[in-house]
Amino acid sequence: MDLTRRSLIGSVALAAGALAALPAFELEEATVADLQKRMTGGALTAHALTERYLEPPSINAGRRSTG
Amino acid sequence: MIELNPDALSIAAALDAERHAKGPRGPLHGIPVLIKDNIDTADRMMTTAGSLALLGSIAARDAVVAQRLRAAGAVLLGKTNLSEWANYRSSHSTSGWSGRGGLTRNPYALDRNACGSSSGSGAAVSANLCALAIGTETDGSIVCPSSTNGVVGIKPTLGLIPATGIIPIAHSQDTAGPMARTVADAAILLGALTGADYTKSLDPDGLRGARIGVARDKFFGFSEETDRVVEAAVAEMKRHGAEIIDPADIPTAGKFDDSESEVLSYEFKNDLNLYLGALGPKAPVHSLADVIAFNDSHREQEMPYFGQDIMIKAQAKGPLTSKDYLDALEKDHRLSRTEGIDAVMGKFRLDALVAPTAGPAWCTDLVNGDHAPGGSSTPAAVAGYPNINVTAGYAWGLPVGISFFGAANSEALLIKLAYSFEQATRHRRPPQFLPRASLTP
């Protein structure tokens, strides 16, 4: 579990929900142009992108260093 | 984050359908954006400035900022934590803490401060919890958390983005502004908020021939590591063709802190009473006096670490027709504008001034409050002039930002310079969520 990211976010009640059926796509450091390019090309939807950002932090385990 | 938008997914789905049917509205179509919890949204999210006194308060109308984001096709993903009341409660506060949201941590070192008051917006953008965020600033509240969290922040000219629907401190200085990981993204977001196209300013060679003044007096010397980083940044600008005028001091720097404090105190009482008074009979509080009383009666939840001396001082102020207020406001404008930024810009025919935005993040200390060593936000904040933070480097793994600031309505020029600097240096590194900064030499 990514405790450090959980600590960062705090105690907010994050939305649950099924994980997006999103192909491997690294959100880290993604720019608006990156995201628009993927949405324009049909590889990404606003819904899937939003779902990714709403994911509970524990689901992101392994995405980042915990120091 | 302090609250997520329960309608975010349905909004996103509707925007997908619209894209499919009619094409995108523009570059923000379908892009999730977080906004600071002092910006009204007429939806199922509260707007509380982090205070339990406003728990349950749902705005009747969107702030202009929220209206424009929705019109641009952005998905309002949620609201970000902040220094409670945008840090206008106590002179012993801890930035990034609010009674409702708790403590915002710095993603580079979790025991360090995210600065404020747009703490959550800065930390969330840096931590890749969103693509873009909105902060607000009265003095330093966009640029400081941008600096300490390693992101780009634009504090625009006063009035460029209407502040209607933002829980206020002071109408003479309050403004919303974009926070993003890159200058290009911040420029896109500023464009959506203003209707202008700032992407035209994204010139990688923008530093060439630019006259950039280094504002040293009062803004260097508070941190050796910060000076080292910013000196190197200035040298980089010179290598990329900028003409450096050094020093280019603001002659009045440090001479309007008292008048600024007076103006904010008067305006806070007036402006907050107007905001709270317009919330309607169902609102939990209706005036600054009500907020002070609420804090007193909820001391354990609201004031476990610091009090409300700034609010109490503001409550004692008279109306905005008071001579003390009018004199202070005139002094602010004269010293920060005509005898301040305008004077040095004109004297040296400058395109922009640069100075350290802030030092590396300090360790959060809820017992003693903030101990920020210094910063350069005040001249642009009091003048109502634009200011852009870009990461200039790191000290012990902690981001240090440089501010580009200048004349009123010079956003396009400042974006050009900031973008060129960013592209030449590419300093930003994503945070690693370390429990503490690595201090091994």
Shortest Cα distance from A66 to chain B (angstroms)? 6
Angle, helix A46-54 to helix A32-40, in steps of 10 degrees: 130
Cα-to-chain-centroid distance, residue B420: 22
| Distance, CA of A34 to CA of A23 (rounded, Å) | 15
Instruction: Provide the 3-class DSSP secondary structure of residue B203.
Output: coil
Q: What is the pLDDT of residues A31-66, one digit of tens each?
A: 999 999 999 999 999 999 999 999 865 433 333 333
Q: Is the Cα dihedral A58, A60, A62, A65 positive or negative?
A: negative
Cα(B284)–Cα(B281) distance, integer angstroms: 8
CA-to-CA distance for B397 and B26, rounded, in angstroms? 36
Q: Given this model, what pLDDT does residue B302 score?
A: 98
The rounded percent of chain B whose pLDDT value lies above 70 is 100
Closest CA to B25 of B89, B61, B70: B70
**Among A10, A13, A51, beta carbon nearest to B102:** A10
Q: Which of B15, B101, B105 sits opposite A46 (nearest CB)?
A: B15
Q: Give the C-alpha separation, B137 to B151, whole Å.
A: 15
For B275, the enclosing helix (H) or strand (E) is helix B257-277
Task: For residue range B284-306, list pLDDT tens digits in order.
Answer: 999 999 999 999 999 999 999 99
Both tokens of B265, joined, read 């105190």
Pairing outcome for strands B387-395 and B398-405: antiparallel
- The one-letter amino acid code at B111 reads D
Task: Give tens-digit pLDDT for B151-167.
Answer: 999 999 999 999 999 99
Total residues found in chain B within this entry: 441
Query: Kind and range of the H or E element at B97?
Result: strand B97-98
The residues with which B404 forms a beta bridge, in sequence order, are B354, B388
* Interchain proximity B433–A31, CB inside 8 Å: no
A–B CB contacts, 8 A cutoff, strictly below: 126
Q: Give dist(CA B78, CA B36) in Å, integer.
A: 8
Using a CB-CB cut-off of 8 Å, the residues of chain A touching B7 are: none
Q: Does residue A17 surpass a pLDDT of 80?
A: no
- Dist CA B52 CA B44 (whole Å): 17
Phi and psi at residue B110, to the nearest 5°: -70, -15
Taking a contact as any Cβ pair under 8 Å apart, which residues of chain A between 2 and 31 contact chain B? 2, 4-5, 7-15, 17, 27-31
Cross-chain residue pair B433–A27, CB shorter than 8 Å: no
Angle, in degrees to the nearest 10, between helices B8-22 and A46-54: 160
| pLDDT over 90 at B109, yes or no | yes
> Phi/psi class of residue B51: alpha, beta or left (left: φ > 0; alpha: ψ in -120 to 50)?
beta
| Cα angle value A20/A25/A31 (rounded, 5°) | 110
Nearest-by-CA chain A residue for B112: A8
| pTM for the predicted model, two decimal places | 0.94
Window A:42-61, CB contacts with B under 8 Å: 45-47, 49-51, 53-54
Judging contacts by C-beta atoms under 8 Å, the chain B residues touching residue A11 are: 102
Cβ neighbours of A31 in B, within 8 Å: 131, 181-182, 184-185
Instruction: Name every chain A residue with its beta carbon within 8 A of the beta carbon of B188.
Output: 32
Residue A22 confidence (pLDDT) above 80: no
Q: Tell me how far apart the terminal alpha carbons of chain A are, to the nearest angstrom.
A: 13
Would you say residue B14 has pLDDT above 50? yes
Q: Phi and psi dihedrals of B358, rounded to 5?
A: -165, 170
